[in-house]
Amino acid sequence: MEGDKYYEELGVAVRVVHLACSLCQRVQEGLVSMSSDQVKSKDDDSPVTVADWGVQATVSWILSEIFGGQNVSIVAEEDVQTLSKVDSAGLLETVVNTVNECLAEAPNYGLPRPDNVLGTSQILETISRCNSTGGPTGRHWILDPVDGTLGFVRKDQYAIALALMEDGELILGVLGCPNYPMKKEWLNYHHEYYQSMSQMSPPASDSWEKGCVMYARKGTGEAWMQPLVHQQKKLEWPNSARLICVSSIDDPALATFCESVQKANSNHSFTAGVAHSAGLRKQPLRVYSMVKYAAIARGDAEIFMKFARSGYKEKIWDHAAGVVIIEEAGGVVTDAGGRPLDFSKGVYLEGLDRGIIACSGATLHEKIIGAVYASWDSSNL
């Protein structure tokens, strides 16, 4: 990849996601419960944490520092509305401290750090700067600072997702999955179960304990995975990365399919109907966040289906990075009508036909699309 037009952008994106994973791990270790003073509810009742704002501020500062200051366009999930409330003063202080601690470690990841500690107003401005709406022209970074915040709070699966789009086309995608187990069977269990199991049977010297960053550059036909570095150690990129590819399973009876854990924004009953129609026999693997995309890219699962409930609109930051990685690993991602996803219409995936289908290969994809049409008449979407 060296010498590629986007080599610098990919390198920075991979490094900053590694750094963001380190921030999230520290915050997650300190969380006690949903009632923690580090967790707030947004207007739609979804949770937001110190990690969400901390990652957004960290990524925003580094991208702006490297790629041109405030002219950098970043489409991201969080704003400062909740963080700026009077009753959030303690939370804001924690975010400021967390960001400064994280940025102090940036040189270990080959990234710049501020000359001086960033103040409260600077942190708020850095978060607020991520207010782009994207679109079909220009260069836009697409960030979900913590995808699957509920999974994060529950100390389960979550992801940090960063993608780059230029003139309406996705260019690269990076996914950080700090709790991704190296044994796919452990995805069925809560992360804390995985932790206890790994302590009972320590990993072999040639395996990774947990956590990884996956990345891909559009059009290369290559997707890569690199283990997370332990705190205080230096990241050597692209050393230690290895190629990943999708599963070769194309028989629906043998395929593993993923779906969202939460029912609020996803129609599980329709997904079950499609699964039955397609001949899928295994129970669905319900995983928080874009870790579902990572599972398909690495060959741990073959299918991801999501059919949103009426009124819910998919956001581009929930899918962009994962789509690039699956496609370059050999998979296929479209809407339920078989059309490519369009990320150029703003913050939403406009014109989406019923839902999203990601598969490890074209054969399975065709069968799932056919099952969607077969199940549609009896749907309650």
Known binding residue 342? Answer is: no
Position 133 in a domain: yes
Task: Mark whether 63 and 201 lie in a shared domain.
Answer: yes
C-alpha closest to that of 129 among 48, 75, 54: 75
Six-digit token pair at 93? 């202080």
- For residue 95, being part of any structural domain is answered with yes
Residue 374 has pLDDT above 90, yes or no: no
Q: How far is CA 177 from CA 38, 40, 75, 215, in A?
A: 21, 23, 20, 11
Q: Regarding predicted confidence, which is higher, 47 or 129?
A: 129
Q: Which of 149, 256, 271, 334 is catalytic?
A: 149
Residues 175 and 213 in one domain: yes
- The answer, yes or no, to whether residue 65 has pLDDT greater than 90, is yes
pLDDT beyond 90 at 31: no
pLDDT > 70 in the chain, percent: 86
Q: How confident is the model at residue 324 (pLDDT cuts 50, 70, 90)?
A: very high
| 149: annotated active-site residue | yes
DSSP per-residue string spanning 304-318: EEEEPPTT---BGGG
Given a cut of 80, whether residue 137 has pLDDT beyond it is yes
Tell me if 79 is assigned to a ligand binding site.
no
Last residue of some domain: 176, 211, 244? 244
Beta carbons of 160 and 175 less than 8 angstroms apart: yes
User: What is the spatial distance between Cα 33 and Cα 28, in angstroms, rounded to a whole number?
Assistant: 10
**In the prediction, which pLDDT does 337 show?**
93
Mean pLDDT along residues 145-151: 94
Measure the CA dihedral 242/208/109/128, to 10°. Answer: 100
Given a cut of 80, whether residue 353 has pLDDT beyond it is yes
Residue 352 makes CB contacts below 8 A (sequence gap 6+) with 308, 313, 314, 335, 341
Range of the domain at 122: 7-244
**pLDDT band, residue 46 (cuts 50/70/90):** low
Please indicate, yes or no, whether residues 262 and 235 belong to a single structural domain of this protein.
no
Q: Are residues 264 and 139 in the same domain?
A: no
* Interacting residues of 130 by C-beta distance below 8 A, sequence separation 6+: 56, 60, 74, 75, 76, 78, 143
31 and 163 co-located in one domain: yes
Lowest pLDDT segment from 52-61, 80-89, 124-133, 362-371: 80-89
3-state secondary structure 338-349: CCCCCCCCCCEC
The pLDDT of residue 380 is 47
**Mean pLDDT computed over 270-277:** 92
Does the pLDDT at position 332 exceed 80? yes
pLDDT attached to residue 84: 85
- Considering its fold, how many domains does the chain have in total? 2
> 180 and 323 in contact (C-beta within 8 Å)?
no
Domain end, chosen from 211, 244, 277, is at: 244
Task: Evaluate whether 266 touches 306 at the Cβ level (below 8 Å).
Answer: yes
In a domain, 224, yes or no: yes
Q: Does pLDDT of 330 surpass 80? A: yes
User: Average pLDDT, stretch 228-246?
Assistant: 82
Q: Which of 52, 156, 300, 335 is catalytic?
A: 52
Q: What would the pLDDT profile of 88-120 be if each residue is shown by its tens digit? A: 889 999 999 999 999 999 999 999 999 999 999
Same domain as 191, residue 124? yes
pLDDT digits (tens, 9 = 90+) for 183-226: 677 666 655 555 555 555 554 444 446 899 999 999 999 999 99
- Return the CATH number at 174: 3.30.540.10
Determine if residue 147 is labeled as part of a ligand binding site. Answer: yes
Is 90 exceeded by the pLDDT of residue 254? yes
324 and 306 in a single domain? The answer is yes
Q: How many beta carbons lie within 10 A of that of residue 63, not counting itself?
A: 24
Q: Does the annotation flag 318 for ligand binding? A: yes
pLDDT of residue 189: 60
- Residue 1 domain-assigned (yes or no): no
pLDDT of residue 121: 96
Residue scoring higher pLDDT (239 or 162): 162
What is the arithmetic mean of pLDDT over 162-173? 98
Note whether 82 and 142 are same-domain residues: yes
Q: Return d(Cα 282, Cα 193) in angstroms, integer.
A: 22
Q: DSSP secondary-structure letter at 283? A: P
Q: Please give the structure tokens belonging to residue 92.
A: 């804001």
Query: What pLDDT is attached to residue 157?
Result: 93
CA distance 226 to 241: 4
Domain with 310 in it: what CATH number? 3.40.190.80
Q: How many Å apart are CA 142 and CA 347, to the nearest integer?
A: 9
Same domain for 202 and 119: yes
- Quick one: 36 and 185 in the same domain? yes
